[in-house]
Chains A and B, each alone.
Chain A
Amino acid sequence: MDYQKPVSRANPGLVVFVLDDSASMGDPLPGTSDPKYVWVERYTKVLLSELLARSQEKGAGDTIRIKPRYFVYFVIYGGKPVTSWNAQDPHQLDIQSVLTKYAASNYSLGLGGNLSGTDARAAFAEVRQFLARVISQFQQCFPPMVFHLTDGESATDAEDVAGELSRLTTTDGAPLIVNAFLGASTELDYAGPDDFPGYLSEADAGPSEYGQRLFRMSSVVPSTIRANLVSDGIFPAIRPGARLFFDVRTKDMLKHTIQVVGSQGSRAGYMLRASSEV
Chain B
Amino acid sequence: MPLPKYEALFLSSPASGEDGVKDQDRTAWDPQRLIACVCDGLTTSPYSTNAAEHLCLRLSEIMAGPQHSILPAMHTVCGELLEMRAQSINKPLLFDDAVPPVLHEMLRDVAMRDRQISFQSTAALLRITETPDSEHVARAFWCGDTGIFVFRHDGKLAWSNLELAADGKVEHCSITHSLPDCPDNATLLDLAIEQSESSAPIDEGASFLVASDGFYSAFPNCYDMWAWLNTHRGLLCCGGSVNEKNAAVRALHQVLIDSSGDDDISFVFVSPIKPTIGGELSDGR
Contact = CB atoms under 8 A, between A and B. Distances in A.
Interface stretch (A84-92, A116-124, A214-222, A268-276): A268-276
A59 B103 contact: no
Contacts of A64: 93-96, 99, 107, 111
Classify the secondary structure of B's interface with A: loop
Contacts of B153: none
A191 to B, nearest CB: 19
Contact of B44 (A8, A49, A271): A271
Contacts of B1: none
A133 interface: no
Contacts of A67: 18-19
Interface residues on A, range: 35 or more
A267 B42 CA distance: 13
B39 interface: no
Contacts of A8: 18
A103 B105 contact: yes
B21 to A, nearest CB: 12
Interface in B18-48: 18-19, 22, 42-44, 46
A52 B110 contact: yes
Contacts, number: 98
Interface string B89-101: 0010111101110
Contacts of A270: 43-44
B260 interface: yes
Contact of B95 (A63, A268, A271): A63
Nearest to B107: A64
A32 to B, nearest CB: 23
Contacts of A230: 173
Contacts of A99: 103, 106
Contacts of B260: 4, 6, 266-268
A231 interface: yes
A96 B103 contact: yes
Contacts of A31: none
A273 B45 CA distance: 9
B113 interface: yes
B113 A231 contact: no
Contacts of A65: 95-96, 98-99
B220 interface: no
Given A8-B18, A64-B96, A64-B111, A269 B102 contact: no
B67 interface: no
Nearest to B93: A64
Interface in A15-33: none
A232 B19 CA distance: 25
Contacts of B17: 269
Contact of A63 (B22, B96, B256): B96
Nearest to B46: A58
A66 interface: yes
A271 B111 contact: no
Given A53-B110, A66-B107, 12 more contacts: A9-B18, A52-B103, A52-B107, A56-B111, A61-B94, A63-B95, A64-B96, A227-B173, A267-B260, A268-B260, A270-B44, A273-B113
16 contacts: A4-B260, A6-B261, A49-B109, A52-B110, A64-B96, A64-B111, A65-B99, A66-B98, A96-B100, A100-B102, A266-B261, A268-B262, A269-B22, A271-B44, A273-B114, A274-B113
